[in-house]
Amino acid sequence: MVCYNILYFCSIPKLFKDFYLLGMRKISLLLCLLFGFNLKAQIINVESKRMITDTIGWSGSAELSLELNKSVNELFKVNNQIHVQYKTHKHLILFLNTIGFDRVDGTDFINNGTQHLRFNYKIKPHLTYEAFMQNQYNSVSKITYRRLVGTGLRWKMSDLERYKMYLGSLIMFENEKNKGETVVLQHDWRNSSYFSFTFKFTEHTQLVSTTYLQPRLDFLKDYRVSHQSVLNLKISKKLGFNATFTYNFDAYPVNGIPKEEYKLTNGLTYVFQ
């Protein structure tokens, strides 16, 4: 079903015209295979994953952590994140895949993940067209699946060497199935607006901060807010340390789930380009 959605999305007239002109059809098959994984976060911060580089072609990063702990209980944890992007002078194709899994004595406590596919076309130096697809699930938030398709514009507000600032606004359609006291299916149109900035303290240290606002268009009281700040310390040319703070607010979460969620994580990232 997910692969069908990808092919349908790619067939929308004009949306991926330039994508096909690049001769990238083989990527569709790869993405279908990757989307076969079940899918974390309520709102995905794509801004922290964009690689600001002048390099034309492929680049990306990968993170993986595994933990097996046997004491009174047996604990098994897996966290994986893959980011791949392809860039030309005017186009950017970005793919994210994240998986989080915690199991204690054979019982799943956390089981979530996300895949995100985004296409950018630079209209002018400071104006970019965006389109995206996303599929996710989160057992803790009782989201069986949440599928998004959206399109809109992104403005570059500042392009200084040490300080970059962006503002984006998109319209998206949301198809969600959640399981609280009862199974609920939702089909909504939302706006997804974001403000993001990157501040480079030194050659080896930078902060990326992004805030999203996603109100439902027919009922503005139903909205989501997400903030994420990522501090990156470059250890070497390809290896970095990340400290990440994430805050999410959902005005109408699934029954039994709190409106606010936050977490602080850190880890290593390997970059290739």
Give burial (CB, 10 Å; 0-12/13-18/19+) of 202: exposed
Q: Which residue has the tokens 């790869």?
A: 30
For the stretch 135-179, pLDDT in tens is: 998 887 888 999 999 999 999 998 788 999 999 999 999 999 988
Q: Does 2.40.160.40 match the CATH number of domain 2-272?
A: yes
Q: How far apart are CA 23 and CA 4, in angstroms?
A: 20
Contact 6, 19 (CB under 8 A): no
Q: How far apart are CA 198 and CA 208, in angstroms?
A: 4
Kindly list the domain boundaries of the chain, sorted by start residue.
Answer: 2-272
For the stretch 28-61, pLDDT in tens is: 333 333 333 333 345 666 665 565 555 688 888 8
Q: Which residue has the tokens 């990340």?
A: 242
For the stretch 56-90, pLDDT in tens is: 888 888 877 776 777 667 878 888 888 899 999 89
Helical H segments across the chain, by residue range = 2-10, 17-21, 25-34
Percentage of the chain beyond pLDDT 90 is 46
pLDDT of residue 46: 67
**Number of Cβ within a 10 Å radius of residue 205:** 14
Percentage of the chain beyond pLDDT 70 is 77
pLDDT of residue 81: 83
pLDDT band at 17 (very low <50, low <70, confident <90, very high): very low
**More reliable by pLDDT, 40 or 92:** 92
pLDDT of residue 214: 96
Q: How far apart are CA 46 and CA 268, in angstroms?
A: 18
Cα dihedral angle (49, 51, 57, 58), rounded to 10 degrees?
-40
pLDDT of residue 139: 84
**More reliable by pLDDT, 253 or 13:** 253
